[in-house]
C-alpha cells in the first residue's frame, strides 16, 4: 500500500504516506465549494508533475556531477469545465547553473520531459515546460 486516505468531512482529506508517515491534507478549491486552505486534488497532480520533473533531472544530474540545488519551479494550473478537469499545466524551472554545456542541458531537459508523471498524464492535457538556465 502506498497511502491511506481519510475523508475528514467538509471537503477535506488527510493522506498518510505509509512508508514515512508523512501527512498531507487536501481541500476542495474555493471555486468548487471548498475553503482553499490546502492543495486541492488537482493541485497535487500539478505539484506531482513539477516535483517529478526536477527529481528525475536531479537523479541524472548526480550521475553527471551537476548540482541542481536551488532550482525553483513555478507551476500554474488551468482548469476547464464540462467536464471539470485540468486543461493545461504550465511549469517554469529556474535552474541556477549557467556553466553547463548545451548537450548536458538537452539531456537533462529530455529527462524532465520524460518523467513518470508526465508519461502518466492523459495526452489531451496540454503541458508546457520552460527551462530557464540562469
pLDDT at 110: 98
Whether the Cβ atoms of residue 130 and residue 94 lie closer than 8 Å to each other: no
Check residue 134 and give its pLDDT.
Answer: 87
Q: Cell match 471548498: residue?
A: 34
Q: Determine the Cα–Cα distance for residues 64 and 76; give it in Å rounded to an integer.
A: 30
Which is nearest to 44 in space by CA: 102, 93, 3? Answer: 3
Q: Band the pLDDT of 131: cuts 50, 70, 90.
A: very high
Average pLDDT, the chain: 96
pLDDT per position as a tens digit, 19-31: 999 999 999 999 9
Q: Are strands 85-95 and 126-133 parallel, antiparallel or unpaired?
A: parallel
Q: What is the per-residue pLDDT for 97?
A: 77
Question: Mind listing the pLDDT tens digit for each residue in 41-51?
Answer: 999 999 999 99
Give the right CATH number for 40-133 from 3.40.50.2000, 3.30.300.20, 3.40.50.300, 3.40.50.720: 3.30.300.20
Q: Which residue has the cell 529556474?
A: 94
Residue 109's pLDDT is 97
pLDDT digit string, tens, across residues 55-69: 999 999 999 999 999
pLDDT tens-place string over residues 76-126: 999 999 999 999 999 999 999 768 999 999 999 999 999 999 999 999 999
Which pTM was predicted? Answer: 0.95
Amino acid at each position: 500500500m502506498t497511502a491511506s486516505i481519510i475523508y475528514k468531512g467538509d471537503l477535506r482529506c488527510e493522506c498518510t504516506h505509509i512508508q514515512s508517515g508523512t501527512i498531507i491534507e487536501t481541500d476542495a478549491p474555493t471555486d468548487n465549494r471548498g475553503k482553499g486552505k490546502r492543495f486541492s486534488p488537482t493541485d497535487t497532480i500539478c505539484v506531482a508533475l513539477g516535483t517529478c520533473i526536477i527529481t528525475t533531472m536531479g537523479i541524472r544530474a548526480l550521475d553527471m556531477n551537476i548540482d541542481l540545488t536551488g532550482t525553483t519551479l513555478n507551476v500554474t494550473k488551468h482548469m476547464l469545465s464540462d467536464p471539470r478537469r485540468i486543461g493545461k499545466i504550465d511549469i517554469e524551472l529556474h535552474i541556477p547553473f549557467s556553466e553547463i554545456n548545451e548537450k548536458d542541458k538537452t539531456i537533462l531537459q529530455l529527462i524532465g520531459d520524460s518523467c513518470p508523471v508526465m508519461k502518466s498524464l492523459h495526452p489531451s492535457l496540454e503541458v508546457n515546460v520552460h527551462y530557464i538556465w540562469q
